[in-house]
Amino acid sequence: MSRPENEPTPLEGVPDKVATELPQLTPDELRNTIIYAQELLRFHDETASPVEPGPNEEILRATKRDGYTEVVKRTTCAEECDDCPHGPYLYHVKEETRPESGTKVRWMFLGEVYPDEE
């Protein structure tokens, strides 16, 4: 079965069974699944991922590395320019502890990813 053209692609590491089932869920079922997954992460003492797509962004791949997360994402302009979408671009994302308390997520832009690098 083929995916609709604009349907998101599962990130690397998502089990095939989960990737097959999720698109079939209703929006309410998806929201409940997200909540359940977040509860499971807390149960396993894991922190939430600092990698969240912003408006008009699509995360193509997120790979956890030692000390950072490697992210490849594509962006679309709000004005829908002729060159959209832009990318894919490679970033290193780190969650840093702030001296005054709390944390801050830092995105370090590394450059464009070419098809033979993906």
Q: Determine the residue type at 42.
A: R
| Distance from C-alpha of 102 to C-alpha of 99, rounded to nearest angstrom | 8
Residues 33 and 24 sit within 8 Å (Cβ to Cβ): no
Q: What is the mean pLDDT of residues 64-69?
A: 87
Q: Per-residue confidence at 64, pLDDT binned at 50, 70, 90?
A: confident
Q: Burial letters for 78-87: b for 16+ Cβ neighbours within 10 Å, e otherwise?
A: eeeeeeeeeb
Q: For the segment 68-115, what is each residue's pLDDT rounded down to a tens digit?
A: 889 999 998 877 788 888 899 999 999 888 888 888 889 999 999 987
Q: What is the pLDDT at residue 113?
A: 92
And the tokens for 16?
Answer: 């095939």
pTM of the model: 0.57
Q: What is the pLDDT at residue 81?
A: 84
